[in-house]
Chains A and B, each alone.
Chain A
């Protein structure tokens, strides 16, 4: 298997997607950012440059164009760059893209992927560190994909590009350079299937996006304390794979949910809620959420670190819920 960065694997998945679907178009450039992985998009640009259009800085019209073109049978990928920029297009995302299939009684489908870099990047400050996945999850009709590894990025972008539904694809800024061996050839990972990334007996940590690697690091630390952590990567927030989470919690009896987004009404809250409703009897300890406190993300490095959930926070939460196990 070739070793690939997250950015390279993502581009590989997109190349397979555009080869398969000759009508698919991309609006936006800089699909692998402007940092160390900027050149990773080159193979895609070389092969499909004529299907990639550079738009003006008009997030609302980019979104509306993508939705309208998708309704008209041209599958689209709309690339915003930083996730915060998608807030400029909220009306189009919620009122048009997410509603269209239902509101039309199934007459319309909207095969469009909205692609962003999200999360605390380091120095992004309040307006360039946003992870709006939970806000979107609150709007019915939008699929939400958050890969945590290069292999998942490749396989999930492939499925997102095949999906007949509007799909929001969140890549964490800090994951773009992460490398691993990635299966060569075509690879599609179905949306709505969580992955157990580490088996364990004592506590289930459910995580999303970059918090998966934080959870895996926390698990190594806790293993030295004889606390055996199971890490479940949700991979998609919508569809939400409740069954894999419930099966895991039923075995471990304890749940920590880790998400980089805001804690109130966040992704972690949703996981905590469905486990409390559906697997309460299995729980041996209260559920713990690890997520950002309700403040914007500040600029100064120590302030930023103070509000960003980390492996240390997951370690602390796991210790708390396994106390006296």
Chain B
């Protein structure tokens, strides 16, 4: 399967929206008396873009504390997402979830759990529902490599395998947490774990946007055909701001001009920008293949930034929830 021009434009748009959304989160965190602890999805845009390319109505994605990108990729309203991150009344979750728990089931992002391993079993449940309702819908479990440290991963992978459930295990492997590996496995590779449970497993380079889309499309097609789960490991070089204690721009605000003029790349993390930033690399690839003009790409980016500015203004104008709301909604 080849990727069409429309899909390329959709992928770039999606990745730009994810990136500019997360940068706006940093701006918001710096500008407000902000109590959250954001785990940004910068540097992982290809996986969100790839999932957006395959999600159909009725498919359900379960995500983690690093969920923002998937919300935006799936089509959630960025204004309501910013409002949730700021704890405002107009937030997706009415201010009760915050950055760790954004969800938008109407756009296919069923739930987000900030417990490591939380998403993987829930997605198996969504897949069980899809199969028992005899639909061709699939579930996507988004998680990081650290999830394979948890016991639930073993149980959930095994159950998905023996029940032949339609679930894509989408593992973003950014390999490091500070100086230590974020996943401590005796297995030589992450995919050896699902492979031991008879789940076909694929490794793809997350810095290559179209290869990632291709891998996700292939996996989704196989899963929708009723062939059971697939484990897809998307390898990323970790963005230097991945584990932020305080809001900061370690690689600066993304300068798309660096796709054409690498002499503009500077700073302590220049190597990450040059070799691993999937957004910059994709813009560069689109330019080199003459798929889109520089002018069109920069115009698209400006529109995305305008959208994010409007969404930010919506969130900042949203009031905090009334205190009595805290006592409502423990039960349906």
Give chain A's interface residues, CB within 8 Å of chain B: 23, 25, 51, 53, 55-56, 58, 60-74, 76, 91-92, 95-96, 100-109, 140-141, 143, 164-165
Contacts and interface: CB of A to CB of B under 8 A. Distances in A.
A25 B163 CA distance: 14
A7 to B, nearest CB: 26
21 contacts: A23-B132, A58-B155, A61-B121, A61-B159, A64-B120, A64-B125, A64-B152, A64-B156, A65-B159, A67-B122, A68-B121, A68-B123, A68-B129, A68-B139, A74-B128, A91-B152, A103-B96, A103-B101, A104-B111, A105-B95, A108-B103
B145 to A, nearest CB: 19
Query: Interface extent on B, as a size class?
Result: 35 or more
Nearest to A94: B115
A70 B132 CA distance: 12
B93 interface: yes
Contacts of A95: 113, 115, 118
B329 A106 contact: yes
Nearest to A239: B331
A108 B121 contact: no
A56 B110 contact: no
A21 B104 CA distance: 26
Nearest to A24: B132
A74 B137 CA distance: 14
Interface in B252-274: none
A172 B124 CA distance: 31
Contact of B122 (A51, A76, A96): A96
B133 interface: yes
B111 A101 contact: no
A104 B94 CA distance: 8
Interface of B: 60, 62, 91-97, 101, 103-106, 110-111, 113, 115, 118, 120-130, 132-133, 139, 151-152, 155-156, 158-159, 162-163, 329-332
A225 B155 CA distance: 57
B331 A69 contact: no
Contact of A69 (B92, B126, B332): B126
Given A53-B163, A96-B115, A107 B132 contact: no
B332 A165 contact: yes
A71 B126 contact: yes
Given A68-B62, A72-B129, 14 more contacts: A56-B155, A62-B159, A67-B122, A68-B125, A69-B126, A70-B129, A71-B60, A74-B128, A74-B133, A96-B118, A102-B96, A103-B97, A104-B93, A104-B105
Given A68-B126, A74-B132, A96-B115, A107 B93 contact: yes
A101 B94 CA distance: 12
A165 B163 CA distance: 26
Contact of A61 (B94, B104, B124, B132): B124
Contacts of B92: 105, 107
A140 B327 CA distance: 11
Nearest first, the 7 closest Cβ-Cβ pairs linking A and B are A68-B125, A64-B121, A61-B155, A105-B93, A105-B94, A68-B122, A72-B129
Nearest to A140: B330
A65 B94 contact: no
Nearest to A72: B129
B330 A108 contact: no
B124 A64 contact: yes
Contacts of A164: 332
A141 B331 contact: yes
A228 to B, nearest CB: 37
Contacts of B95: 105
A111 to B, nearest CB: 8
A72 B118 CA distance: 16
A91 to B, nearest CB: 6
Contacts of B118: 64, 95-96
A60 B126 CA distance: 15
A286 B70 CA distance: 57
